[in-house]
Amino acid sequence: MDADLVLINPAIPLEIFLPPWDFSHVHFVGNKDQNGLNTGTFFLHIHAWSVSALTKAMAFPMYRPDVDLGVSSDQRAMAYVFNESAFAGGVLYQPRVWYNTYEWRHAYEGTRGNLLVHFPGLDDERWPHMDKWLDVVERQPRAWEMPLERTFYPNETSAYWAALREARQTLAEAERLGADREWQVSEWIREGIDRLRAVLTWETDNVETVREATTALQLFLDKQAPTATDEEHRPP
């Protein structure tokens, strides 16, 4: 996590954000904002994948000197690496407000129960904002703390993993149908497969988008589901 971050609800266990056993292929869990990947706070698995990804990100300016990484060079280098096919499968994005909740110039975007407050993009205005929040946690440590079961985290994290599981199952079903040469898969299904694959790679931080792409592909599958008559006349 970045140094300009204040923990305001230590009652939230960090493991609630980590991938369950059936997502063992995930090694990086992070979030995005309006500028793309934000590395203000993220989870990284101690794994060979992580070593390779970080090594390549650190070396990025040397083997891609043609790319202007700008001010947030570490962040942009990691984003470029994660976009590569060799690493994209190990990356998972989650809703940013879960554990990268911003303090804007005008207000805090979170509510009581949120895990933390982060101060990106405030430049020199960061210091009075941080001073205010540090005073709160020092003088009124219970002001923002809330037991896990009373926060939005249990429901939202459960819904998140459920949506991703359903999406993966639907995609696997469609891919099996597409691989079966005895059936002519419609162009709608192929487009639905491509869309859901893209969503599961880049847009898992938006649960509604995941659900919409899953539902669309499932509707296409339902329309093309083989009937009993089809099975009887299927070539041996």
Residue 140: its pLDDT value, please? 92
Residue 220: its pLDDT value, please? 86
Nearest CA among 18, 33, 25, 167 for reference residue 87: 25
Which pair of tokens denotes residue 103?
């303090």
Cα-atom radius of gyration of the chain, to the nearest Å? 22
Reduce the DSSP state of residue 4 to 3 states and report it: coil
User: Which of 82-91, 152-161, 181-190 has maximum average pLDDT?
Assistant: 152-161
φ and ψ at 176, to 5 degrees?
A: -65, -45
Query: Mean of the pLDDT values across residues 60-73?
Result: 92
Whether 100 and 38 have beta carbons less than 8 Å apart is answered as yes
Residue 225: its pLDDT value, please? 62
Whether 205 and 94 have beta carbons less than 8 Å apart is answered as yes
Residue 39: its pLDDT value, please? 94
Identify the band that residue 222 occupies on the pLDDT scale cut at 50, 70 and 90. Answer: confident
97: enclosing H helix or E strand: none
Instruction: Reply yes or no on whether the pLDDT at 233 is more than 50.
Output: no
Residue 226: its pLDDT value, please? 57
Instruction: Reply yes or no on whether the pLDDT at 72 is more than 90.
Output: no
Residue 162: its pLDDT value, please? 98
Percentage of the chain with pLDDT > 90?
81
Angle at 162 between CA 213 and CA 15, to 5 degrees: 125
Whether 210 and 164 have beta carbons less than 8 Å apart is answered as yes
pTM: 0.90
Nearest CA among 52, 27, 28, 54 for reference residue 42: 28
Helices (H), the chain: 48-63, 73-82, 85-88, 126-139, 153-179, 187-202, 207-224, 228-232
Residue 234: its pLDDT value, please? 46
| Cα dihedral 182→188→194→196 (10° resolution) | -110
Domain locations in the chain? 5-146, 153-225
Whether 113 and 106 have beta carbons less than 8 Å apart is answered as no
Nearest CA among 167, 188, 189, 169 for reference residue 178: 189
Identify the band that residue 187 occupies on the pLDDT scale cut at 50, 70 and 90. Answer: confident
Reduce the DSSP state of residue 27 to 3 states and report it: coil
Residue 189: its pLDDT value, please? 84
pLDDT tens digit sequence for 8-36: 999 999 999 999 999 999 999 999 999 99
Reduce the DSSP state of residue 92 to 3 states and report it: strand
pLDDT tens digit sequence for 81-128: 999 989 999 999 999 999 999 999 999 999 999 999 999 989 889 999
